[in-house]
Amino acid sequence: MSKLPHVGTTIFTVMSNLANTHNAINLSQGFPNFPVDEKLTDIVQKIAKFPVHQYLPMAGYPPLLEKISKSIERCYGRSVDAKTEILVTAGATQAIFAAIQALVNKDEEVIILDPSYDCYEPPVLLTGAKSIRIPLTDDFMPNWEIIEAAMTPKTRMLIINNPHNPSGKTLNEQDFIQLEKMLDKFPNVVLLSDEVYEFITFEKKHYSVNLNKNLRKKSVIISSFGKTFHITGWKIGYLVAPENLLIEIKKVHQFLVFSVNSIAQVALSEYLDQVDVLQLGSFYQEKRDLFANLLHNSRFELLPSEGSYFQVASFATISDLSDVDFCVNLVKEHGVAAIPLSVFNANGRDQKLIRFCFAKDSETLKNAAERLCKI
């Protein structure tokens, strides 16, 4: 019997394959199509000749752990113990999987806010726990009263994602005040904060759980070098958690991967001294603005994108099709691939919204927009 009977191929793979089959411009799956920083590729080339090819310590390459700790101190003013509070992982996906497997028990409950990224629920189900899918509001913000009403003595984890994929919305400081108050009433609950787009925010500054002294004591915070350094294929990221939680997470990590790719870890430890992660927001803001300007005269209505490299658009005035059918049609008839939002909702709610990834070079964005403006 299947342990995950409702899990199929992810929408990202489905849409990317469809884009390839139809030779469409792929703005569906989130990945950059421009070159990686030469400083990073030079480091990789250089170190490949050094002895960097064997197992590294289970929790991560010590100099990389130190650099991550320094970066967290610089960006968020939080002092994190490199030896006991950071774990280097094979991307955010593995971090999330290991954290859920380690911390959630059979028959407990995990609250997931919809639309939700697709890698949260399967590890919950594999532990024999129950996922409680709570919709965000129509503008993709949490309604804390509704979330609190869903909390029970069995609730073990609440997962938040900020900046939010697929919507591109970000949480406000006020949300964290409410969240803090709510979690004070449920001391058994761990907060899993997926912040893979932490450095990709625009007008509004990112509010990380790292900034909140109370919340961070009970939180696992997830980061991804894939997003921050345009290297999604490297599959490398890290999580930060208080020592008591990390001890448990490491037990799972030890037998899931043991340790993460050595070359990537050594390269990134060197690269972190040569790059300013805080510049990433303005880099992507230019892309967001270019794409929005190019679509200005289209029939799509663009929703606010406050963070991440995604732009959500409504096609409600263009078509009555379901968002999934609209996306299939968009690839086949117009040569552009996007992601339908309804697939991220447990209840399948279709708001006639689709997601475009603007982590692309200007040429690609221009060509895609030209096609989209003809619709």
Q: What are the Cα distances from residue 111, in Å, to 103, 117, 144, 187?
A: 14, 13, 12, 15
Under the criterion CB under 6 A, does residue 165 sit at the interface with ligand PMP? yes
**Does residue 109 bind ligand PMP (CB under 6 A)?**
no
* 142 sits near ligand PMP (criterion: CB under 6 A): no
Instruction: Answer with the entry of ligand GLN, ligand PMP, none that 186 interacts with (C-beta below 5 to 8 A by kind).
Output: none
Residue 117 or 176: the one with the smaller Cβ distance to ligand GLN is 117
Distance of closest approach, residue 330 Cβ to ligand PMP, in angstroms: 21
* Nearer residue to ligand PMP within complex by CB, 32 or 237: 237
With binding defined as CB under 6 A, does residue 29 bind ligand GLN?
Answer: yes
d(CA 295, CA 89): 38
In the complex, least distance from residue 224 CB atom to ligand GLN, rounded to whole angstroms: 9
Q: For the chain, first and last CA: distance in Å?
A: 45
- CA dist 110 to 100, 134, 256, Å? 9, 10, 21
Subset of 121-180 contacting ligand GLN (CB under 6 A): 165
Q: What six digits make up the tokens of 48?
A: 């490949």
Burial classification of residue 323, based on how many CB atoms lie within 10 Å of its CB (0-12 exposed, 13-18 middle, 19 or more buried): buried
Amino acid identity at 154? K
| Binders in 234-263 for ligand PMP, by CB under 6 A | 237
* Those residues with Cβ within 8 angstroms of residue 268's Cβ, 6 or more apart along the chain or in another chain: 64, 67, 225, 229, 236
What number of CA atoms fall less than 13 Å from residue 193's CA on the CB side?
A: 26
| C-alpha–C-alpha distance, residues 165 and 236, integer Å | 19
Of 121 and 270, CB closest to ligand GLN: 121
4, 7, 8, 10: which one binds ligand GLN (CB under 6 A):
10
- Is residue 32 at the binding interface for ligand GLN, with CB under 6 A as the rule? no
Q: Is 115 in the site for ligand PMP (CB under 6 A)?
A: no
Q: Is 196 in the site for ligand PMP (CB under 6 A)?
A: yes
365 near 290, Cβ under 8 Å?
A: yes
Pick from 224, 228, 259, 269: which binds ligand PMP (CB under 6 A)?
224
To ligand GLN, the closest distance from the beta carbon of 220 in angstroms equals: 18
Which does residue 168 touch among ligand PMP, ligand GLN, none (CB within 5 to 8 A, set by kind)? none
The residue with its CB nearest to ligand PMP is: 91
Query: Which residues, at least 6 apart from 42, have a Cβ–Cβ distance to it below 8 Å?
Result: none
Per CB under 6 A, does 101 bind ligand GLN?
A: no
Half-sphere exposure of 85 (CA within 13 A, CB side): 20
**Cα-to-chain-centroid distance, residue 185:** 28
Tell me the closest approach of the beta carbon of residue 23 to ligand PMP, in angstroms. Answer: 24
Pick the closer one to ligand PMP by CB: 214 or 232: 232
Summarize as ranges the residues that interact with ligand GLN (CB under 6 A).
10, 12, 29-30, 165
Summarize as ranges the residues that interact with ligand PMP (CB under 6 A).
30, 91-93, 117, 161, 165, 194, 196, 224, 226, 232, 237
